[in-house]
Amino acid sequence: TMYSDDEGREEYLFKIVVIGDSAVGKSNLLSRYARNEFSANSKATIGVEFQTQSMDIDGKEVKAQIWDTAGQERFRAVTSAYYRGAVGALVVYDISRRMTFESVGRWLDELKIHSDTTVARMLVGNKCDLENIRAVSVEEGKDLAEAQGLFFVETSALDSTNVRIAFEKVILDIY
């Protein structure tokens, strides 16, 4: 959506949703990106939280309103409201837990059902710092992303690897 501020400068506001199974690190990716914070023992998200983060592109202020919800079914808020108006999505799995990768298809289906426009989508393999217990190869992530037409990146909210890129690539694509 495009707005004009008081001086007539253009401003953009994009809604981005973060989805994926519980404990894959959605909330920590967002807190790392928006506040440069990581929590080693964060609680499961209940309902919906969001953060707004600004980015400067070609001298224009681009604001991303990033929505984070619970991966756990019983803590999830009304699904259609969560997705409404979203123009970007990060679909997150945990590279150390194969089940979370196998759930990606279901998250993509849900996204497709509830989103009305063409959504810029990024597949995110989080926790790449856990190389010693890796259960999903980089190739598998890449292949799935390619097959489904998504961008792909591996991240670590713990050591900050690629966190900024994961969000900003989606924002740039929308813009």
Contacts of 94 (CB under 8 A, 6+ apart): 21, 23, 24, 25, 100, 101, 125, 126, 127
Smaller CB separation from ligand GTP, 69 or 115: 69
Task: Quote the CA–CA distance of 130 and 110 in Å, as a whole number.
Answer: 28
Q: Which stretch binds Mg ion (CB under 5 A): 25-33, 88-96, 139-147, 150-158?
A: 25-33
End-to-end CA distance of the chain: 10
Return the residue of 18, 20, 27, 108 that touches Mg ion, per CB under 5 A.
27
Return the residue of 25, 33, 45, 170 that touches Mg ion, per CB under 5 A.
45
Return the residue of 40, 80, 117, 132 that touches ligand GTP, per CB under 6 A.
40
Task: Quote the CA–CA distance of 17 and 82 in Å, as a whole number.
Answer: 8
Smaller CB separation from ligand GTP, 2 or 40: 40
Residue 36: both structure tokens together: 């440069």
Contacting positions for ligand GTP (CB under 6 A): 22-28, 39-42, 44-45, 70-72, 126-127, 129-130, 156-158
